[in-house]
């Protein structure tokens, strides 16, 4: 994979440059490739903190996929669709998507390997098949690649932002506008590297569109559409609006009276072009019981949106 550095990318670190250019690879994975000498700038190997200049030629050599070495673990998975190229899963709240150092078992990947045993190896031994992720405490839809061809094509669609992703969230406060959007760049929080934040200097462009489905005293049920796919994008953007997600322990200290751990966020719709056939695929997931139970405890407030509409993404 080759790139020419543009003026606006002047003095960017090579590891950050590659992370921006190749969203299908994690920054940690790319740092490992740099350390192995698989990245060159103008024909010379570099360190990960090497600063780029306009006109530099950057070349990345991606090694052949490594064999998967994760233990398959049978588990009860909600699989909405499967063929020779991909699997669409409706993930339950509390399930980690892929193994990580120190947490190698009990993840969605472990369960998928027990189910189908053939997953793409592009993302290495710990994240086979994983084209995109949702957080542990976010429920809902994921597409997983079963071979490298499908993985590469789906990754292209994510990179070009042609994937449809619609979420439902319960947020603090009554949002007065019927609909709106948040456009603010997201990057690492300079004060806490485990959090993301609106970051105008080092963040990536991020756009979230929202629509209020229902209002309750002190809360709103919101439909959110991701036009980009940054880490924690919805959680950061709703915090920026001063309407953080209920239960979000990372981005708000507001009280959560509902006894549900983790953010109230559900990936309710997912649409993409099939990587082999080109057919448009679209899947929906109804609100899970934990989410519906919380809504059932709330009474609609004055000015509520039409309560007769379905609580599902459109």
* Residues marked as catalytic: 135
Backbone angles phi, psi at 154, to 5 degrees: -65, -40
Q: Report how far residue 77's alpha carbon sits from residue 146's, in angstroms, rounded to the nearest whole number.
A: 16
- Distance separating the N- and C-terminal Cα atoms of the chain: 38
Q: From the CB of residue 288, how many other CB atoms can be counted at a distance below 10 Å?
A: 17
Contacts of 103 (CB under 8 A, 6+ apart): 96
Contacts of 8 (CB under 8 A, 6+ apart): none
Q: Report how far residue 141's alpha carbon sits from residue 89's, in angstroms, rounded to the nearest whole number.
A: 6
Q: Report how far residue 40's alpha carbon sits from residue 153's, in angstroms, rounded to the nearest whole number.
A: 25
**For 142-283, where are the alpha helices, taking DSSP H only?**
148-159, 233-240
| Placement of tokens 């080092």 in the chain | 202
Number of residues that make up the chain = 314
């Amino acid at each position: 994979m080759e790139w020419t550095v543009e003026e606006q990318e002047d003095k960017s670190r090579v590891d950050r440059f590659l992370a921006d250019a190749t969203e299908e690879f994690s920054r940690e994975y790319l740092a490992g490739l740099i350390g192995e000498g698989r990245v060159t700038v103008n024909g010379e190997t570099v360190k990960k903190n090497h600063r780029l200049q306009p006109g530099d030629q950057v070349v990345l050599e991606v090694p052949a996929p490594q064999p998967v070495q994760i233990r398959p673990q049978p588990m009860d998975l909600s699989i909405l669709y499967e063929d020779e190229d991909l699997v669409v899963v409706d993930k339950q709240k509390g399930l980690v998507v892929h193994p990580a150092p120190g947490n190698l078992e009990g993840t969605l990947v472990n369960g998928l390997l027990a189910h189908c045993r053939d997953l793409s190896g592009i993302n290495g031994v710990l994240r086979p098949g994983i084209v995109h992720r949702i957080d542990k405490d976010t429920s809902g839809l994921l597409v997983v690649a079963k071979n490298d061809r499908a993985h590469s094509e789906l990754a292209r669609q994510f990179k070009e932002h042609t994937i449809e992703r619609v979420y439902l969230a319960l947020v603090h406060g009554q949002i007065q506008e019927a609909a709106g959007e948040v456009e603010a760049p997201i990057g690492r929080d300079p004060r806490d590297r485990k959090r993301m934040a609106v970051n105008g200097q080092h963040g990536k462009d991020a756009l979230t569109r929202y629509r209020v489905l229902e209002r309750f005293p002190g809360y709103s049920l919101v439909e959110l559409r991701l036009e980009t796919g940054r880490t924690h994008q919805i959680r950061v953007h709703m915090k920026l609006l001063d309407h953080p997600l209920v239960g979000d322990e990372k981005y708000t200290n507001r009280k959560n009276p509902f006894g549900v751990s983790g953010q109230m966020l559900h990936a309710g719709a997912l649409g993409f072009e099939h990587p082999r056939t080109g057919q448009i695929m679209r899947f929906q997931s109804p609100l899970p019981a934990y989410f519906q139970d919380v809504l059932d405890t709330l009474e609609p407030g004055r000015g509520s949106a039409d309560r007769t509409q379905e609580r599902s993404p459109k």
